């Protein structure tokens, strides 16, 4: 069978079976009172929103989705007409009509923002209210849970808003440092006390949610009606030092083709800037991927790529579209062979988290950074 043409350069394999496996594991971590809210912002963390959300809804039974902005929300709505979709971030008030049109739930970050959203609509807009309990990013900021509940009560009285929940975001739930654990405890206590104050005021909201991926893994709470699972859905660490639940699998593998193999001599230079010079005879291969595909230039002379189950180091600088690697010890390498940049080949594995550690970032950025020109190939 002839492979599709795009397979002969660089591509990302997306395993839907790994995705379903991860959802099954996460479901078992949650209490019966908590449902998964799948975080699919940033094109499902670089995995491709359309196929991911369709699989999550139809094959995994996911009802709730979280996104960053209205464009992402509309994309999910087109794929999943019956889904509950929450925008975690900011939507300009002039788009309030679109929120109504597509039945999107908007995160409310302040009373002033709530009033601005209401000013241009005549129907009730669904919303969840964000509380800043210590992230310092967006949300209501109050000295006490009582004050916070009072402000929320005022927002609930706005005629054109339908408030359905409150939520917050943990800043250090992925840390086992005692001070950070205490900090997260205070964040959780603040929002649960706020919810209890609202209940005492006879304001009964369907949802309170505060668990992110890290909290799902290590401090699961039955009080959170939704678990906003993000990076763990895709099989990656919230923090590299944090142990993942047993059985989670990376959903994405990144592969490319070897286009050229040649011998070089002592003193020969490789790639831009002549940052690599051979100390002896070597055999090198050119791989058809580069920083324009999302394989960072910061991996120059640092990263390793798998060829025939062997780790082969990058020689010199990563180019826009190509990379050169050392295959001296892999004599069976030939043009047309497949190189694995993220994933497993034989007994060796390179993870997005490993690459992130090489240049001082996180696995999130690695997978989100795989560019649109790299096709996603979905396997069952």
* Active site amino acids: 41, 272
Structure tokens at 59: 């094959």
Measured distance CA(217)–CA(241) in Å, rounded: 13
E-state strands within 140-229: 161-167, 207-209, 226-229
First to last CA, the chain: 19
What strands lie across the sheet with 125-130, from one edge to the other?
207-209, 161-167, 125-130, 105-108, 84-87, 64-67, 35-39, 226-229
Helices (H), 219-312: none
Beta strands in 33-97 (DSSP E): 35-39, 64-67, 84-87
- Token pair belonging to 379: 């396997």
Angle ∠(151,153,157) on CA atoms, nearest 5: 120
- 10-15 and 252-264: which strand pairing? antiparallel
Tell me phi and psi for residue 96, to 5 degrees.
-60, -35
């Amino acid at each position: 069978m002839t492979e599709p043409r795009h397979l002969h350069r660089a591509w990302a394999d997306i395993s839907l079976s790994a995705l379903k496996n991860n959802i099954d594991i996460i479901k078992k971590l949650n209490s019966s009172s908590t449902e998964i809210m799948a975080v699919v912002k940033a094109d499902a963390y670089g995995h491709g929103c359309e196929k991911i959300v369709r699989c999550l809804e139809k094959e995994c039974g996911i009802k709730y989705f979280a996104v960053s902005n209205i464009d992402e929300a509309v994309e999910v709505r087109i794929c999943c007409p019956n889904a509950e979709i929450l925008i975690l971030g900011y939507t300009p008030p002039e788009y309030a009509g679109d929120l109504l049109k597509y039945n999107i739930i908007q995160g409310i970050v302040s009373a002033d923002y709530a009033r601005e959203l209401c000013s241009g609509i005549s129907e009730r807009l669904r919303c969840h209210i964000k509380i800043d309990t210590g992230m310092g990013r967006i949300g209501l900021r109050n000295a006490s849970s009582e004050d916070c509940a009072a402000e929320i009560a005022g927002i609930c009285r706005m005629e054109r808003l339908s408030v359905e929940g409150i939520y917050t975001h943990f800043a250090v739930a992925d840390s086992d440092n005692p001070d950070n654990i205490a900090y997260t405890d205070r964040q959780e206590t603040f929002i649960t006390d706020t919810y209890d104050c609202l209940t005492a005021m006879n304001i009964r909201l369907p949802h309170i949610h505060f668990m992110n991926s890290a909290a799902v893994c290590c401090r699961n709470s039955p009080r959170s009606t939704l678990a906003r699972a993000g990076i763990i859905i895709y099989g990656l660490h919230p923090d590299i030092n944090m142990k993942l639940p047993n059985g989670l699998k990376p959903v994405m593998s990144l592969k490319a083709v070897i286009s050229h193999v040649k011998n070089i001599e002592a003193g020969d230079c490789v790639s831009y800037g002549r940052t690599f010079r051979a100390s002896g005879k070597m055999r090198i291969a050119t791989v058809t991927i580069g920083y324009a595909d999302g394989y960072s230039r910061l991996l120059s002379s640092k990263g390793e790529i798998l060829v025939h189950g062997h780790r082969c180091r990058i020689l010199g600088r990563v180019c826009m579209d190509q990379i050169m690697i050392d295959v001296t010890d892999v004599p069976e390498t030939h043009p047309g062979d497949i190189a694995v940049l993220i994933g497993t080949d034989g007994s060796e594995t390179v993870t997005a988290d490993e690459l992130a550690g090489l240049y001082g970032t996180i696995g999130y950025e690695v997978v989100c950074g795989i560019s649109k020109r790299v096709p996603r190939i979905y396997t069952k």
